[in-house]
Structure formats: structure tokens, C-alpha cells
Amino acid sequence: MKGNEGFSAEERALLLTVKGVGPTVIGRLEQLGYHSLSALADADTTHIVKLVASMLDSTCWQNSPQARGAIDGAIALARSQTARDRQDVAP
């Protein structure tokens, strides 16, 4: 993961196209140390929602289908973008 820069403007714009993902969700991901789609592609939804719930000292993120859906969507986007980027580099 990159330093504390956060997602690039391009990656942020892509994430914002995912249902349920807004600036707050992106901010939470960045607080957890995810600063690129390639790092997020290796993430696990359950792990992320548990960490955010713990960070906020609230179970709402862990129990919310909307939060899980947003993180699932963000990870799916990251995986598809990472796979596409690998195909672009392949000989």
C-alpha cells in the first residue's frame, strides 16, 4: 500500500460509481490503509467491516447489509480493474 496519499483521483472516481460508495466509505478505506485499487483487490469484506466497526466502536458497519454491499462492490471493482491492468501488461 502506498503511504498516506489516499486513492488517486482516477481510482476515487471509479469507486464513486459503485452503489453505496461515497466519500465516507472511501475515507474509511483510506483510514484502514487502503490507498490503491490493487491493495483493495486483496481485501476481505468481513475483515474490513469488522475493522471499521471496531474503529467506530459501533456494530452498525458490521451488521449493515448496505455497508457490506458497498465494500463488496468496491472490492469487486478493484479486482476487475486489477485483472484488466494485468491483461494490458501481458505480452
- Domains identified in the chain, total number: 1
Cell 466502536 belongs to which residue? 57
Instruction: Return per-residue pLDDT of the chain as tens, 91 residues.
Output: 344 579 999 999 999 999 999 999 999 999 999 999 999 999 999 999 999 999 999 988 889 999 999 999 999 999 999 887 666 655 5
Residue 3 domain-assigned (yes or no): no
Indicate the pTM of the whole model: 0.86
Residue 2 domain-assigned (yes or no): no
Q: Are 44 and 38 in contact (CB under 8 A)?
A: no
Q: Are 81 and 89 in contact (CB under 8 A)?
A: no
Alpha helices in the chain (DSSP H): 9-15, 23-31, 37-40, 45-56, 60-63, 65-89
Residue 85 domain-assigned (yes or no): yes
Residue 18 domain-assigned (yes or no): yes
Residue 1 domain-assigned (yes or no): no
Q: Of 75, 1, 3, 83, which Cα lies nearest the Cα of 36? A: 1
